[in-house]
Each structure stands twice: as C-alpha cells, then as structure tokens.
Homo-oligomer: A and B are copies of this chain.
C-alpha cells in the first residue's frame, strides 16, 4: 500500500510539521481547502493548500491558507 502521511507546515516560517492524518489515500483540493481521505475512510477537511508532495518518503505537506492570518 502506498498511502502517505499528511503534515501541516506552520505559516510563520518555523520548520515544524504537525501530523494531520496517517494513511492518506485520496487528496481532493478545492477552492476553500483540501479534503483528505484515509485508507480507513476517515475524512478531514483542511483550510490550506498543497505545499509539496514527497511520495517516496510518503509525505504530503500542506500549508495553511495565508488568508486566515
């Protein structure tokens, strides 16, 4: 199985990552944010956008919407 973990990157430049969800299968961005769906069917909606993916490392990096500052 090639699911990944989703991490939230802090918006203030700190090099911290917070685990949002493990075993993410589907990622569906829309205008307001990103829907994450795990292989177990768990869903989470995050206000932010995809910063980057590193699939070999099983990592999805999400950055919070800057409009929320």
Number of copies: 2
Residue of B nearest to A53 (CB): B27
A-side interface size class: 20 to 34
Contact for A25 among B27, B29, B55, B60, CB less than 8 A: B55
Cβ of A44 under 8 Å from chain B: no
Alpha-carbon separation in the docked complex, A27 to B55 (Å): 8
Residue of B nearest to A25 (CB): B56
List chain A positions with a Cβ less than 8 A from chain B.
1-4, 24-29, 39, 49-56, 58, 60
Task: List 13 additional contacts besides A28-B52, A29-B50; criterion CB under 8 Å.
Answer: A1-B56, A24-B55, A25-B55, A26-B54, A26-B55, A27-B50, A27-B53, A27-B55, A28-B53, A29-B49, A29-B51, A50-B50, A55-B55
